[in-house]
Structure 1
Amino acid sequence: MRERLVVVGNGMASLRFLERLTEGAPGLYDVTVVGAEPVAAYNRVLLSSLLGGEVDEAACAFRGLDWYESHGIRLITGAPVTAIDRENALAIVGETHVLPFDKLVLAVGSTPIRLPKPGIDLPGVITFRDLADVAAIRRAAVRHARAVVIGGGLLGLEAAVGLSRLGIDTTLLHVMDRLMERQLDHAAAGLVKRAMEARGVKVMLKADTASIDGDGRVESLTLSDGTVLPADLVVMSVGVRPSVALAQGAGLETGRGIKVDDRMATSDPRIFALGECAEHRGMTYGLVEPAYEQAEVLSRHLAGEAGAYQGTALATSLKVSGLPVFSAGVVDTPESAEAIVLSDPGAGLYRKLLVEDERLIGAVFVGDIGEQGWCKALIRSGEPVTGHLDDLMFGRPAAAPSTPQTLAA
């Protein structure tokens, strides 16, 4: 009999794992995947485009139900796993349904953080994380509505851009002194701020929310300096926390996330975790690339192949209001490193390379990100960059045209 594999969660990490497992070891396991959302896995990266009306929900879908069926995967949607009975090797779905397992994969993602501020539970305060959030925001974003987005990280910027595309009067608040401070230095963040404002988004930095106010629903937001902003809709986008409640209830070892080793195994060797819920060597990741790398490693391990996850050197590549942005490695210049900078604010162009001991330790590009793949490879490999700096900064020259050869008569 085939071993019973139950996968809890049907997000992007879960689907990538299933794709790789069925490619590398088709039919090896009797697979059941359980998702709390009412639809199969979809592309969360497109949520801001969906919010802004650039794409429809069908464009966000990855695999149709026929794909799961054709690969022998039993898919259960709209039914959260509420408990794990490790003693009897059972995943409890809802209140009464049980799924026996020989191996279990937790790909339960993360939950959006809601700041503990007065008025946080008023109707009209919405997070920005999934399809249901997009639908709720669009219902609230009626004509002439005023929206305030809290959080100047990647998701906050995406939410603000999406609302702006709907023609909504949108203000973005960020408590730090620059947008995306984990990925961008001040100069790059300044260009992103300009791009947001060019799209009609008002950006307020060093803006700390004191309270959300209203009688029965959101009417305004008050900052710690006393400034009052009228608001019909408040989108909370201040980060996420790994979902650990299910693992904790089962007695698995957790820290910030569900602790895993290099094979993505938890403290119970029958149970694995990957994606945003997993904590590997003290690190949790809220990006797609690490989740996909973890999915590759786990699929190989469960197929009986060698493989180990070594961690991911984080890199960010995106478009903010049509402006390409890339960062990898160190962002702010340490005393021991040299910063090589090309800046043309008028053209919306900025490049910074951080070099230490002849090795690239960080890169920030805005406007032109043509060498992003090369930069990521150099940061990860530690290869000396001597002789490459001009090409990294200005782009590699196009190959010279070949000289036609005259054939001898």
Structure 2
Amino acid sequence: MSKRYVIAGFGAAGWSAAQAIRSKYEQGIITVISDEKSPPYARMLLSCWLKGKIEEEAIHLFPNDVFKSLNTEALYEKRAEKIDTDRQTVILNNGESIPYDELLIASGASPVRPEIKGIDLPGVLNLWTRDDTLRIREGIRENGEAVVIGAGFIGMQAVDALLKLNVRCSLIEALLHVLPRILDPEGAGLIESRLKREGVDIFTDTTVKEIGAEGKRKEIVLDSGRTLQADLVITAAGVRPKLDLTKTAILKTDTGILVDECMRTSSSHVYAAGDVAESLDFSTGGRGVHAIWPTAVDQGWVAGMNMAGASVDYPGSLNMNTLDVLDIPLASVGLFQGDGLEIGKHTESSRGIYRKIAFRDGRLTGAVLLGDISDIGIIRSMIHRRVDITSVKSAVVFSPVKLGRTWPVYGGIKA
């Protein structure tokens, strides 16, 4: 009898897991459950669609013929509401029961809605789903004004898109600089300078006290007492794992669902991957939730392979983000600030280049790159492989790393 695989959630982790299962086991029955109306899409491309850089079709992860080749059943506009681990079934919001032999929870994360008076007013939106993007497109007007609350990855994507649509922006961040979890203060300062040149009003170390409505306009009151006016407010205050299913199944959780190196949860035949999973952190050796695309893809693949009977270990999440702000490419990976790190920096103001490379005991731990991020993938791989670069540290700091013929085998590089 064919094994039954159920995937609750059909984003990057769910899609990656389905591919892994099918690559290992051709006869299994794969059922994916999604509360979305359409096939999975890349959230990081929503801002590109918003600003008109790509068409809607381009946000989707795969064409229909690729999905059909996996021989997978997709249940759209359905939600897994309960897991019965004794009977090994998933109960949907319409009461339907789906039996499983192996289950993956890939329910992802949901946007944090700050506890602000007026946060639920019409015109106060997220940028997280396809429907969110459509609502923003309906709510903006050329030469209008918008306030973005949160200057992290999503908030910066929103500002970049709105500026391209000729919308004046104000950006509010509770911490001391923009992109606080992606850039160091110096790199963030370069981005802030560029944003200000484009007319963005930036308020760091600032929170929103209240949002009010004046007709169709919004009135945003800051903790300083200053008031801003806007046609649209976008909240981008981070995300948190969707743990609803853990209320009906006995699964160990902390910030996310706790998993081992095989992405197994504390319940037999139940796995978790992506933004909902709390796994090993490669850089710190602790545990954490890394709500980023590469982690979701990697974890989904490991979970899928193990669900299908393989034995694959996940080496741990290595935080990496890449972003384009006003045509400035930027990226960061791993640990690039903190005690015990040796830091090398290189700046070329005329070219808009900034490089910060962090080391410990002759090995890379992290990096921040602005202007030229062509070697971020190589740096990430070197961190994962714990390559000793003692003899070429200065070269790595001053110019993009280029692959040498021997590097993949021996760890040799040239710059």
Q: TM-score, normalised by structure 1?
A: 0.92
Match in the other structure for 1:20:
20
For 1:75 and 1:11, the matched residues in 2 are separated by 12
Alignment of 1:8-407 (within 5 A): 8-27=8-27, 29-214=28-213, 219-281=218-280, 282-332=287-337, 334=339, 336-392=340-396, 393-395=398-400
Residues 333 and 103 of structure 1: is their aligned pair in 2 closer, same or farther, counting only changes over 3 Å?
A: closer
For 2:402 and 2:146, the matched residues in 1 are separated by 46
Residues 268 and 323 of structure 1: is their aligned pair in 2 closer, same or farther, counting only changes over 3 Å?
A: same
Is the 2:3–2:29 contact (alpha carbons within 8 Å) kept by the matching residues of 1? Answer: yes
Please give the per-residue CA displacement for 1:296-355, whole angstroms capped at 9, x wherever unaligned: 211221232221112122122222221111212223253x33322212334321112223
Q: How far has the Cα of 1:270 moved from its partner?
A: 1.4
Matched position secondary structure for 1:387: helix
For 1:293 and 1:11, the matched residues in 2 are separated by 13
For 1:288 and 1:135, the matched residues in 2 are separated by 22
Q: Which amino acid aligns with 2:295?
A: P
Residues 349 and 83 of structure 1: is their aligned pair in 2 closer, same or farther, counting only changes over 3 Å?
A: same
Please give the per-residue CA displacement for 1:243-287, whole angstroms capped at 9, x wherever unaligned: 001122223222111121111111211111110011124311110
Is the 1:333–1:339 contact (alpha carbons within 8 Å) kept by the matching residues of 2? Answer: no
Residues 84 and 355 of structure 1: is their aligned pair in 2 closer, same or farther, counting only changes over 3 Å?
A: closer
Deviates more, 1:385-394 or 1:119-128: 385-394
Is the 2:218–2:233 contact (alpha carbons within 8 Å) kept by the matching residues of 1? Answer: no
Is the 1:68–1:75 contact (alpha carbons within 8 Å) kept by the matching residues of 2? Answer: no
Is the 1:218–1:234 contact (alpha carbons within 8 Å) kept by the matching residues of 2? Answer: no
Q: Which amino acid aligns with 1:193?
A: E
For 2:84 and 2:122, the matched residues in 1 are separated by 36
Q: TM-score, normalised by structure 2?
A: 0.90
Is the 1:161–1:201 contact (alpha carbons within 8 Å) kept by the matching residues of 2? Answer: no
For 1:297 and 1:396, the matched residues in 2 are separated by 29
Is the 2:12–2:300 contact (alpha carbons within 8 Å) kept by the matching residues of 1? Answer: no
Is the 2:81–2:244 contact (alpha carbons within 8 Å) kept by the matching residues of 1? Answer: no
Residues 396 and 119 of structure 1: is their aligned pair in 2 closer, same or farther, counting only changes over 3 Å?
A: closer
Is the 1:122–1:217 contact (alpha carbons within 8 Å) kept by the matching residues of 2? Answer: no
Aligned residue pairs: how many?
A: 397
Deviates more, 1:255-264 or 1:146-155: 255-264
Is the 1:164–1:200 contact (alpha carbons within 8 Å) kept by the matching residues of 2? Answer: no
For 1:380 and 1:63, the matched residues in 2 are separated by 28
Q: How far has the Cα of 1:116 moved from its partner?
A: 0.4
Q: Which amino acid aligns with 1:330?
A: L
Is the 2:375–2:402 contact (alpha carbons within 8 Å) kept by the matching residues of 1? Answer: no
Q: How far has the Cα of 1:126 moved from its partner?
A: 0.6
Deviates more, 1:337-346 or 1:186-195: 337-346
Deviates more, 1:12-21 or 1:213-222: 213-222
Please give the per-residue CA displacement for 1:150-183, whole angstroms capped at 9, x wherever unaligned: 1111111001111111111111111112111222
Alignment gaps of 5+ in structure 1? 400-409
Deviates more, 1:378-387 or 1:7-16: 378-387
Q: Which amino acid aligns with 1:2?
A: S
Higher alpha-carbon Rg: 1
